Amino acid sequence: QVQLQESGPGLVKPSETLSLTCTVSGGSISSYYWTWIRQPPGKGLEWIAYIYYSGSSNYNPSLKSRVSISIDTSKTQFSLKLTSVTAADTAVYYCARVPSRDGYPPYYFDYWGQGTLVTVSS
């Protein structure tokens, strides 16, 4: 059974960098897209970015200037960095898997991590 687990600090100071890692177990990291999503308390879901196992990536333009995603296939992990955070970045951050047939649609999120709450506060 594929499992994803987010890890990283639960509290980040304003203007600093939020760093999260998602560890994948029970399955291969190859031949999939891997993605980050966030959900502010009491609000809806926002897609942040995805990365293909080969390293190609795509970002939400609303965050593109501050976000980067990377992958380490040897550790079966992928990571998110979000710079210059503000209180508006307080959210539960989820990682998820996106299956695809050789990189083609349909795209959907079939396995999710449990989520980790990141609070931006001094």
Partner 1 sequence: DIQMTQSPSSLSAFVGDRVTVTCRASQSISSSLNWYQQKPGKAPKLLIYAASSLQSGAPSRFSGSGSGTDFTLTISSLQAEDFATYHCQQTYNTPWTFGQGTKLEIK
Q: Which is nearer to partner 1, 72 or 110 (CB)?
A: 110
Establish if 2 lies at the interface with partner 1 (CB under 8 A). Answer: no
**Beta carbons of 121 and 13 less than 8 angstroms apart:** yes
Q: Is 110 in the site for partner 1 (CB under 8 A)?
A: yes
Query: Least separation, in Å, of the C-beta of 16 and partner 1?
Result: 25
* By CB under 8 A, residue 105 contacts partner 1: yes
Per the CB < 8 A criterion, the answer to whether 31 and 24 are in contact is no
Sheet bearing 77-82, strands edge to edge: 3-7, 18-25, 77-82, 67-72
Half-sphere exposure of residue 59: CA atoms within 13 angstroms, side-chain side = 14
**For partner 1, which stretch binds (CB under 8 A), given 9-17, 19-27, 57-65, 68-76?**
57-65
* Contact residues: partner 1, CB under 8 A: 44-47, 58, 60-62, 94, 105-110, 112-115
